[in-house]
Amino acid sequence: MIGETNKALVAATGMVLLGGCSLQPVQPWERGDLARDDMQWEAGLVEEATIRDHTYTSKEAASLSPTLGGGGCGCN
Amino acid sequence: MFRAVSHFAVLTSFLFALVATPAIALEIGEVFPAVNAERMDADGSLGMDSLRGKVVYVDAWASWCTPCRVAMPVLEDWHQRWAEQGFVVLGLNVDTDMKAAQVARKRAGVTYPIIHGVPDDTLMTLGMQTMPTAWLLDREGKVRMIHSGFRKADIEELERAITQVLEEQ
């Protein structure tokens, strides 16, 4: 059973930690760094799509991208 | 005990909030800080002191900021148009990637002086909220106008403000 004092201590620690988050707000001149590809949550998403596309066109011997009609069979 | 700890937490959070809020932000009528930084368009450095007596349009910009790049040809036009009347555009580049900054500068084809490497604490005192931010300074170095962002619709208002300051002796 957590005592009242311990609860208060946990709450206080939480508030102090949350307050600490506000110490370094992102400045306008720092936004360029945050916008970099390697700073994204899913940085590899575009690269992965490019690799998948490359693999598809290579394996299928398809012309251009998979979004276009036609293939390597020469039938259209 | 609970009350004491709660008071401590509230007080600490308040102090954090105070520290996080920029205490100093440059305001209209104040003298622009005596910034002295390296030039990215030429060798050497450039200080605000050397521009005293001129009407200066300080433009904080970065290569990754599209409105900043849109503004550059307009600023170049102003720099050329009013040069004889003692008007200077001073670019203040905030890029960390200097290669990208140089590419953007060359692509825009601007000739006005641009400084870079201004320390963060100096930038903090300018109170920038967005990119680009510009400060119009009179011949005494006092801020006469602060402009956030850049849209082509702003040009007329900005030109009016510049000519008004230029006409003052």
What is the residue-wise DSSP string for B90-102? EEEE--S-HHHHH
pLDDT at B164 over 80: yes
Percent of chain B residues topping a pLDDT of 90: 83
Residue A9, min C-alpha distance to chain B (Å): 7
Q: State the residue for tokens 């307009």.
A: B74
* Secondary structure, 3-state, chain A: CCCHHHHHHHHHHHHHHHHHHCCCCCCHHHHHHHCCHHHCCCCCHHHHHHHHHHHHHHHHCCCCCCCCCCCCCCCC
Q: Which residue of B has its CA nearest to A35?
A: B64
Please indicate if any CB of chain B lies within 8 Å of the CB of A73.
no
Q: Which residue of A has its CA nearest to B117?
A: A29
Please tell me which residue, B36 or A2, carries the higher pLDDT value: B36
Please indicate if any CB of chain B lies within 8 Å of the CB of A42.
no
Please indicate if any CB of chain B lies within 8 Å of the CB of A19.
yes
pLDDT at B20 over 70: no
ipTM for the complex?
Answer: 0.71
The 10s digit of each residue's pLDDT in A25-63 is 888 998 888 877 777 777 677 677 778 877 877 776 655
Q: Which residue of B has its CA nearest to A29?
A: B94
Residue B14, classified by CB atoms within 10 Å of its CB into exposed (0-12), middle (13-18) or buried (19+), is exposed
Residue B169, min C-alpha distance to chain A (Å): 34
CA dist B106 to A42, B66, B72, B102, B110, Å? 32, 15, 11, 6, 7
How many inter-chain contacts (A to B, CB under 8 Å) are there?
A: 72
User: How far, in Å, CA of B110 to CA of B41, rounded?
Assistant: 9
| Three-class secondary structure of residue B168 per DSSP | coil
Contacts of B6 in chain A (CB under 8 A): 8, 11-12
User: How far, in Å, CA of A60 to CA of A66, rounded?
Assistant: 9
Of B44, B47, B25, nearest to B34 by C-alpha is B47
Strand partners, B47: B36
Please tell me which residue, B104 or B4, carries the higher pLDDT value: B104
User: How far, in Å, CA of B112 to CA of B78, rounded?
Assistant: 10
Please tell me which residue, A37 or B47, carries the higher pLDDT value: B47
Q: Which residue of A has its CA nearest to B68?
A: A29
Q: Which residue of A7, A28, A32 is in closest CB contact with B129? A: A28
